[in-house]
Amino acid sequence: MQICPKLNNGGNHVWQIPTHFYNARQITMPVQAADATSAKYNCMMNFFLQNKPFVVPTRDGKLIEEHFGKLATQQDNISIAHMVAPPGWAEPHQSPTFDEWTLVSSGRKLVEVDGQAMVLEAGQSILVKKGARVKYSNPFDQPCNYWSICLPAFSMENVHREEG
């Protein structure tokens, strides 16, 4: 991704962020005179620092902070989210059409894949391949902090949750 600054009349850089990032918002930053010359010739940035993830609204007390994905950055190819599942939390079985990696950073999480149950603890991770029937829950007394990476990106259309 390339983001190039332009100087405005006030001597500030105005960063134009491409449309697929935050709906083409502009960020204005003060710049020192020495920076103006270097910015003019070195405007390519080979990174995107995410410091304001999209907080997905939920009804079950679970915190979902999407750093990259369909909601945060309009990316279809990957989603990366930090989540906190409160004690007693559970979601229905699902058969997603994406691969999902989960890494538990604290607490425990119960994962049921195609009828086989396992408990993930802090420092453990799992890959659940697309098409598997999976259920995630936290039947434990402590919150579970974890990260999830989905390829392609998570969406309600491709998670295929069983309702009822």
Residue 130 contacts residue 136 (beta carbons within 8 Å): no
CA angle 155, 158, 160 (to 5 degrees): 115
Helix or strand holding residue 41 (H, E): helix 33-41
So what's the pLDDT on residue 128? 98
So what's the pLDDT on residue 123? 98
Look up residue 120 and give its two tokens.
Answer: 């993930």
So what's the pLDDT on residue 3? 44
Cβ within 8 Å of residue 137, ≥6 positions away: 85, 89, 90, 91, 109, 110, 112
Q: How many helices (H) and strands (E) does the chain have?
A: 2, 13
Closest C-alpha to 97, from 164, 156, 48: 156
Any idea which fold 54-159 has? Jelly Rolls (2.60.120)
So what's the pLDDT on residue 45? 79
Whole-model pTM: value is: 0.73
Tens-level pLDDT at each residue, the chain (164 residues): 444 445 455 554 444 444 444 444 444 444 444 444 333 334 567 888 999 999 999 999 999 999 999 999 999 999 999 999 999 999 999 999 999 999 999 999 999 999 999 999 999 999 999 999 999 999 999 999 999 999 999 999 999 999 86
CA angle 94, 155, 162 (to 5 degrees): 20
pLDDT tens, position by position, 125-135:
999 999 999 99
So what's the pLDDT on residue 72? 96
Closest C-alpha to 134, from 151, 117, 148: 117
CA 138 vs CA 83, 102, 106, 111, 124: distances in Å: 12, 14, 12, 9, 15
Domain ranges across the chain: 5-41, 54-159
So what's the pLDDT on residue 9? 54
Return the amino acid letter for 5.
P
